[in-house]
Amino acid sequence: MKTTIKFTPVNMDERKALDFSSGDVVRVWNKIKESDGKTRLQAFEGMVLARKHGAEMGATFTIRKVTSGVGVERIFPLYSVMIDKIEIVRRSRTRRSKLYYVRDKALRDVRRKLKEDTRVVKKGSTTTMEVAKEEAPEEVAA
C-alpha cells in the first residue's frame, strides 16, 4: 500500500506544468498578511528575466517591472505557498534564457531621453528661471 505525505498545500504538478520562459509577461498573485491577521492578494506583473533550477524544489523565477520610472525586480520561488496563482499575460520568443541585459538597456534609454531633453533648449533662448521671473507679478509696496 502506497501512502503519500503532502507537506504543502501547493499543487506541485500544476506548478511544474506551467510553461513560461524568459521574455514572457506574467502576473503573480501573491498573498500578503496584514497586521490584523487577514490575508489579501496583490498582483505583481512584469517580464520574466530568468527562470532557474528547472522544475526541482528550489526552482525560482525573476520578474522585472517598471513602476513610476523605477525598475523593480522580485525573485519568486516557483513552489511558494505565498503565491496564489500565476497567470501568463503575454508570450514572447527570445533567443536567450537569461535577459539580464534588459537592466542596462533601460538605463541607456533613460540616459538617451535625458540627453534629448537638454538638446531641446537652443542657444540664446531664455531659461525657465528667467521666464518664471518675467511672468511673476510685481509686488506692490504698501
Q: Are 53 and 60 in contact (CB under 8 A)?
A: yes
Mean pLDDT along residues 22-39:
92
Sign of the CA dihedral running 108, 60, 46, 18: positive
What pLDDT is recorded for position 127? 54
Q: Does the structure show a pLDDT above 60 at 113?
A: yes
Tell me, what's the pLDDT at 115? 78
- Full-model pTM: 0.70
Per-residue pLDDT tens over the stretch 44-56? 999 999 999 988 8
- Determine the average pLDDT of the residues in 88-111: 88
Beta strands (DSSP E) in 2-142 are 25-33, 39-52, 60-67, 70-77, 83-90
Expressed as residue numbers, the domain containing 117 is 12-121
The whole-angstrom separation of Cα 10 and Cα 78 is 10
In a domain, 129, yes or no: no
Q: Which has the minimum average pLDDT: 22-26, 61-65, 101-105?
A: 101-105
Inter-CA distances, 135 with 84, 132, 139, Å:
56, 5, 12
Q: Is residue 133 part of a domain?
A: no
Residue 18 lies in a domain: yes
CATH number for 95: 2.30.30.790
Residue 2 lies in a domain: no
Structural domains counted in the chain = 1
The residue written with cell numbers 534629448 in the block is 116
